[in-house]
Amino acid sequence: MLSKVITIAQQKGGTGKTTLAVHLALAFIKYHNLKIAIIDTDPQGSLGQWFMIRSEKKLSNGHLTFKTASLWGAQYESKTLKKDHDIVIIDTPPKIESDARPSIEAADLVLIPMAASHVDFWATGAIVDIAKKANKKILIQINRANQRSKLISKTKDFIKSLDILSTKTIIGHRQIYAASMGEGKTAVEKQKKSVAIEEIKQLSEQILSEVK
């Protein structure tokens, strides 16, 4: 067992925390044959909806465990789940500034998704500070990108200015990420070969090498 914890956090809603959580989980299972647990700490429960559709469709996978917890409970829950899972992914709600500590504390890696936009620059500082103070390994994930946008290089400059790293993979804005989840799936279960698959596969490889 690798027994590592990845916390996906970002103050701003809609940056792709939940999308990344499930896509990484299924990529770790499919391409690396790992045992994964996802902990949903968002009271909105969109991850729970997704998992319920999976269960109803009997898509559940012996390598995937799903749990819900409060932001506080996630620290304890992840400690328990670590014992028999390779990776525990903690998905968090937005606006967690004051309650973020336990979920960040539990992490071996904090993954922070953001779009290539100034609005996201402004939102990202707070969670980076919290993760830095906790002495955690941090990676920014540029998500929903339009590869041709001039804002991508601006975003990379911004990330450099925070003195942290971003992942090598930029995740594009692609329908399949959203559409697959509506069916209780992920892109890696819907497609064999696509740009989305390449993105997620490459990302799962880098993240794995970072936590190993």
Ligand X SMILES: Nc1ncnc2c1ncn2[C@@H]1O[C@H](COP(=O)(O)OP(=O)(O)O)[C@@H](O)[C@H]1O
Q: Rounded to 5 degrees, what are φ and ψ at 210? A: -75, -35
State how beta strands 137-142 and 165-166 pair: parallel
Which of 24, 36 has the CB closer to ligand X? 24
Binding mask 15-44 for ligand X (x = CB under 6 A): xxxxx-------------------------
Which of 106, 181 has the CB closer to Mg ion? 181
Question: Looking at 14, 61, 132, 149, which residue binds ligand X (CB under 6 A)?
Answer: 14
State how beta strands 4-8 and 165-166 pair: unpaired
Place of tokens 């995740």: 171
Pick out residues in 116-145 that bind ligand X (CB under 6 A). 143-144
How long, in residues, is the chain? Answer: 212
Task: Reduce the DSSP state of residue 12 to 3 states and report it.
Answer: coil
Residue 67 near Mg ion by CB under 5 A: no
Contact 6, 109 (CB under 8 A): yes
Question: Looking at 4, 12, 17, 54, which residue binds Mg ion (CB under 5 A)?
Answer: 17
Binding footprint of ligand X on the chain (CB under 6 A) = 13-19, 46, 143-144, 171, 173-174, 177-178, 181
